[in-house]
Structure 1
Amino acid sequence: MAPLIPRLHLFEVADQPWFPDFLRGYMQAALTAAWTTHIPLLQTSSPAAIVSRILSTQLSSSRVRDYVFIDFCAGGGGPTPQIEKHLNRAISSSPASTNSASTPSYAAAAVAPPPVQFILTDLHPHVELWSAAAAASSNLTYVKESVDAARAPTDLIASHKRSGKKVFRLFNLAFHHFDDTLARRILKNTVETSDGFGIFELQDRSWAGFFSCCLFGLGTLALAPYYAYLWGSPLALVFTYLIPILPAVLVFDGWMSSLRTRTPEEVVALLKDCGAEGGEEEIAKWEVKSGRETFMWPVGRVHWFIATRK
């Protein structure tokens, strides 16, 4: 069903230049935690694990190896490092990745396909955070220079094309930030240079989307001591309890994100109107799929949109 509320491109507090960088860092860390945390009994799995499963299922465990995944709005790293771990773990244990029981283990190891590679990029790189994530996995790298998703560097795309890989762009909790003009430019560049893209959001323009933002604020209040200890930053407690800026802004920006989030039909409309070279004939070469999966009943959902070149 179409949302009752039309899409409104309103502002988010954390996007404003006057918002303190250290508070923005806490918010990015909290959003990363929302992607990667799995609370037994309450959640079936983490949203990051669900995204990896969606990619493996929709691209199939064999075809997914054909791609290199580039996160064009990685922020502080977001869920991509965890998506990489879950995806490579899943496809390495899939039937397509193993030989029959009669095959010697040394032969199986010799023909085992390489793991899928992921790359972090952003208009405003977070090199220190990315380098720490990349140090934990040989399948994760990053571009330390600024990367504009509407004008992807030719060498970044071409280097992977030359190696026989297809380029798949990731937009994790990011595409709603673009107004229609910028979204069309990004889609145009994507269609002209890449082979697939995926949009993953944790909210939408529904009552469930708005309520999930409220639960996120409550979760921040409940888990702040744990994450303050994990991050080694007691100051986060000050801005959670004494001066509750973090939960207030997280909930408010979550509501604004909900109002900004597009339906699959609205993304398709932008795709058809993006002005890509080749026009409608080029767009017709793309296959579009979308859906949603629940990670925490009744309102925690991953909303996904995947497009691939046929």
Structure 2
Amino acid sequence: MQAALTAAWTTHIPLLQTSSPAQLVARLLRTHLSPGLHSYTFIDFCAGAGGPTPSIERHLNYKQQGENDGSGTASDSKDQGRKASPIQFVLTDLHPHPDLWARAAAQSPNVSYVAEPVDAANVPRDLVRRYRGESSVGGGEKKVFRLFNLAFHHFDDELARRILKDTIEGGGDGFGIFEMQDRGIAGFLSCCLFGIATMIAAPYYAVLWGAPLALVFTYVLPALPAVLVFDGWMSCLRTRTADEVEALLRTCGAEGGEAEIAKWEVKSGSEMFMWPVGYVNWIICVKR
């Protein structure tokens, strides 16, 4: 299931999709964190089997090296690349998958991982300090940006508040919540299409993953598409709006109260990656 969700993030089907969802997230980060993008280290606190983070890293750093993706010029990217070192990404989870993460790290020197369990609501302070250091752009200390890709809806309100409180008090400088579903009709329909796509692509991914049993649990006993669709519907019901996340942020009980919360700026939106129902719903919050 995690591998299927990773494929949903990273697959780009020409003509059907304007981009992969992961590429869209990379574009959103570049748009809303520039010009200070390279001052951040990105830590994925719910990486699962790897998710979209390795793909996001490739899109961001490839763009930096001079690839023009339509949001700027190649010459501008080359100039920026000479000034800044590659952007670093770190994979963590409460239930780590170091074997899978090691493969992603082997494919890019800009992806690393923490093999020990990491609780997003109680992140060790030494872990945050480990990924800080002098920024390659303008000097100063590196910042930490926390990623929650298709994950924040898993947390009930109490746990979500604790995670946001830890972000504010634990040395976080920003966080991003990216979901591929919402509580609207488009979200529910997209889950249905995901189930159909899983059945169509099962032979390809069974070979790619080296998992022939995926064929059994797709066609003989269609547990995989059924569970993915049902899980998607439940995720739709649990996905919060930007206003609801901001309300949790205001009531998370962080030290400093309203004065501290006021230092954080929340941006949000919804971007289509596949007509008519494929959307990435996003929230980006940074400390001013």
TM-score range, shorter chain: over 0.9
Structure 1 unmatched ranges of 5 or more: 1-26, 100-107
2:133 and 2:30 map into 1 onto residues whose CA distance is 24
Does the CA contact (< 8 Å) of 1:56 and 1:91 recur in 2? no
1:254 pairs with one of 232, 239, 249: 232
Q: Distance in 1 between the 2:65 and 2:86 partners?
A: 8
Residue 132 of structure 2 aligns to a residue in which SS?
Answer: helix
TM-score calculated relative to the size of structure 2: 0.93
User: Which residue pairs with 2:70 in the alignment?
Assistant: none
Q: Could you tell me which residue of structure 1 aligns to residue 15 of structure 2?
A: 41
CA distance in 1, matches of 2:65, 2:201: 33
| Native 8 Å contact 2:64 2:78 kept in 1 | no
Q: 1:89 Cα shift?
A: 1.1
Determine helix, strand or coil for the equivalent of 2:162. Answer: helix
Structure number with bigger Rg:
1
| Whole-angstrom CA distance in 1 between matches of 2:230 and 2:19 | 26
| Larger RCO of the pair (alpha carbons < 8 Å, separation 6+) | 1
1:83 to 33, 56, 59: 56
Residue of structure 2 in register with 1:165 after alignment: 142
Describe the superposition over 1:87-133 as per-residue Cα deviations: whole angstroms up to 9, x where unpaired.
1112332554434xxxxxxxx98x44200000000001100000011
Q: CA RMSD in A?
A: 1.3
How many residue pairs end up in the alignment? 274
2:26 alignment counterpart: 52
- C-alpha distance in structure 2 between counterparts of 1:170 and 1:129, whole Å: 18
User: Does structure 1 conserve the Cα–Cα contact (< 8 Å) formed by 2:41 and 2:132?
Assistant: no
The match for 1:242 is: 220
Instruction: Name the aligned partner's letter for residue 281 of structure 2.
Output: H
* Residues in 2 aligned to 1:200 and 1:167: alpha-carbon distance in whole angstroms: 17
Report the residue type matching 2:156 in the other structure. Answer: D
Q: Is contact 1:188-1:275 (8 Å) kept? A: yes
Structure 1 residue 288 displacement after superposition? 0.7
Partner in structure 1 of residue 137 of structure 2:
none
Q: Which amino acid aligns with 2:56?
A: I
Alignment pair present for 1:280 and 2:254: no
Q: Gaps spanning 5+ residues in structure 2: where?
A: 67-73, 135-140
Structure 2 residue 12 is the aligned partner of structure 1 residue 32: no
Amino acid at match of 1:191: I
Deviations 1:284-303 (A, max 9, x none): 00111000110100100000
Of 44, 65, 71, the residue aligned with 1:71 is 44
Whether the 8 Å contact between 1:166 and 1:194 is mirrored in structure 2 is: yes
Structure 1 residue 120 corresponds to structure 2 residue 97? no
* 2-structure distance, mates of 1:70, 1:96: 26
Question: Residues 63 and 77 of structure 2 are in contact (CA less than 8 Å); yes or no, is this contact kept in structure 1?
Answer: no
Q: Secondary structure at the match of 2:41?
A: strand
CA deviation after TM superposition for structure 1 residue 234, in Å? 1.1
Matching residue of 2:161: 184
1:217 is aligned, of 172, 177, 195, to 195
Task: Provide the C-alpha distance between the structure 1 equivalents of 2:31 and 2:179, rounded to a whole number of angstroms.
Answer: 18
> Letter of the aligned partner of 2:78 in structure 1?
T
Partner of 1:142: 113
Residue type at the aligned position of 2:32: Q
The question of 1:155 aligning with 2:126 is answered: yes
> Identity over the aligned pairs, expressed in percent?
68
Q: Secondary structure of 1:194's partner?
A: coil
Q: Secondary structure, in 3 states, of the residue corresponding to 2:94?
A: coil
Q: Which amino acid aligns with 1:190?
A: T
Mapped contact 1:197–1:307 kept (Cα < 8 A): yes
Alpha-carbon distance between aligned partners in 1 of 2:133 and 2:207, rounded to the nearest angstrom = 45
In 1, the alpha carbon distance for the partners of 2:189 and 2:277 equals: 7
Q: Distance in 1 between matches of 2:16 and 2:76?
A: 32
Q: Which amino acid aligns with 1:91?
A: Q
